[in-house]
């Protein structure tokens, strides 16, 4: 016996009610998860997990792009998803076998940060970059539109030459701008690249709710990170300060141990700086420190973490750098400082160098050994690099 029209209506209402209840539960859980951190990368990972998890909106792929005003680019910040059907089936099977819920998926990010897993799609998403100009097509156009754009398979042909569409091989997708402080700051793109499941009106509505939530969370996170950068920046030289050196060395050593790659540490001290300060005065001394900081920046690599350790002492963390390679960089720094003239004065530096794993694996011991090597350089006549 077929259900009556009334029964069908009741069943449909029950299904809609259950779907709405589920959506609000997901929304609540993600809001709660986002309150556990203020780090931008972690916030974004939670948002994208909510968009792609089975308990969330269950899109196959989600990517966040952020506007880089300084370099006039729209750059891929993070992406969650898969590159192909085979990888998707493997990941989905693993999630099902391990009975992973939303929080299990979010916690996976710790393994990514520690370099224990390398999601291919995330690396691909982070490699994407578009000029902040009309030539970038849809990703640029959407930046100045509030609300999402639903591009269906019926109209995708119009975008076949679009750079974003081609690089992601998009068929049907949602794309929306993130507005913060009344200006466009990023873009979120989602699609069903693997399953080809159609995107319906309800998906669009919930997606728009997520985007609004994401904007607030990302804005708070960026404000926090701006404050963090300021609190970890040396006001005189613009370099990172002692606190940041300690924080980053912990982080770099943790990644190096898990991935089994070397990290080196330089401790750098200006020779006879007190004599210059006493004879020339503190104003000239401060100016000299700023000039020398610029020389250090010019001769360190972009990936190196250069800090003012205190007074006239500096420190450098060199990730993925062996002792031999670190020695070459230290020598380059030493020679560059000695060749520079500041207020008609030639400065020199003494440098101590230690490395993981050749000297030690403990943070405190590495810093201490680099420091001991630095003072040995002082005792041996200054203006030289000494290895731990």
The residues assigned a catalytic role are 312
Alpha helices in 233-362, H assignment, sequence order: 242-259, 273-280, 282-299, 323-339
3-state secondary structure (DSSP) of residue 42: helix
Q: Contact, 258 vs 312, CB < 8 A?
A: no
- Laid out side by side, the sheet with 385-387 consists of 305-310, 313-319, 263-270, 349-356, 385-387
3-state secondary structure (DSSP) of residue 114: coil
Instruction: State the Cα–Cα distance between residues 245 and 178, nearest whole angstrom.
Output: 33
Packed helices 40-52 and 5-34: angle between N→C axes, nearest 10 degrees:
170
Instruction: State the Cα–Cα distance between residues 37 and 212, nearest whole angstrom.
Output: 18
Question: 198-236 burial string, b = 16+ CB within 10 Å, else e?
Answer: ebeeebeebbeebbebbbebbebbbeeeeeeeeebbbee
DSSP class per residue in 50-83: HHHSTTTT--SEEEEEEEETTTTEEEEEEEES-S
Neighbours of 145 (CB within 10 A): 13
For 217-250, the three-class secondary structure string (H helix, E strand, C coil) is HHHHHHHHHHHHHHHCECCCCCCECHHHHHHHHH
Sorted by sequence, the CB contacts under 8 Å of residue 17 that are 6+ apart come out as none
């Amino acid at each position: 016996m077929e259900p009556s029209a009334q029964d069908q209506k009741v069943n449909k209402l029950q299904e809609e009610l259950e779907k709405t209840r589920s959506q609000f539960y997901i929304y609540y859980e993600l809001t709660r998860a986002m309150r556990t951190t203020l780090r931008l990368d972690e916030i974004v990972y939670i948002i994208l997990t909510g968009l792609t998890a089975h308990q969330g909106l269950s899109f196959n792929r989600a990517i966040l792009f952020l506007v880089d005003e300084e370099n006039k680019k729209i750059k891929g910040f993070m992406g969650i998803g898969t590159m192909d059907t085979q990888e998707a089936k493997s990941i989905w099977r693993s999630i099902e076998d391990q009975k992973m819920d939303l929080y299990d998926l979010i916690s996976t990010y710790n393994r990514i940060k520690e370099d224990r897993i390398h999601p291919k799609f995330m690396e691909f998403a982070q490699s994407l970059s578009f000029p902040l100009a009309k030539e970038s097509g849809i990703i640029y156009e959407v930046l100045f539109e509030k609300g999402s754009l639903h591009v269906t398979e019926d109209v995708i042909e119009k975008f076949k030459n679009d750079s974003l569409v081609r690089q992601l091989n998009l068929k049907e997708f949602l794309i929306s701008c993130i507005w913060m402080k009344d200006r466009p700051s990023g873009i979120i793109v989602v699609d069903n690249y693997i399953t080809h499941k159609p995107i319906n009106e309800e998906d669009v509505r919930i997606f728009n709710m997520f985007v609004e939530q994401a904007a607030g969370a990302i804005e708070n996170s960026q404000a926090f990170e701006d404050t963090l950068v300021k609190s970890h920046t040396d006001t005189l030289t613009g370099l990172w300060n002692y606190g940041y050196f300690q924080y980053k060395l912990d982080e770099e050593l943790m990644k190096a141990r898990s991935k089994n790659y070397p990290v080196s540490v330089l401790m750098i001290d200006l020779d006879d700086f007190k004599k210059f300060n006493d004879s020339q005065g503190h104003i000239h001394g401060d100016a000299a420190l700023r000039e020398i900081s610029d020389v250090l920046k010019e001769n360190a690599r972009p990936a190196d973490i250069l800090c003012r350790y205190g007074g006239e002492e500096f420190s450098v963390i060199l990730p993925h750098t062996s002792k031999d390679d670190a020695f070459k960089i230290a020598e380059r720094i030493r020679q560059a400082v000695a060749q520079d003239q500041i207020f008609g004065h030639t400065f020199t530096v003494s440098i101590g160098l230690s490395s993981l794993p050749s000297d030690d694996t403990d943070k405190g011991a590495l810093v201490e050994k680099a420091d001991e090597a630095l003072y040995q350089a002082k005792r041996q006549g200054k203006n030289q690099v000494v290895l731990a």
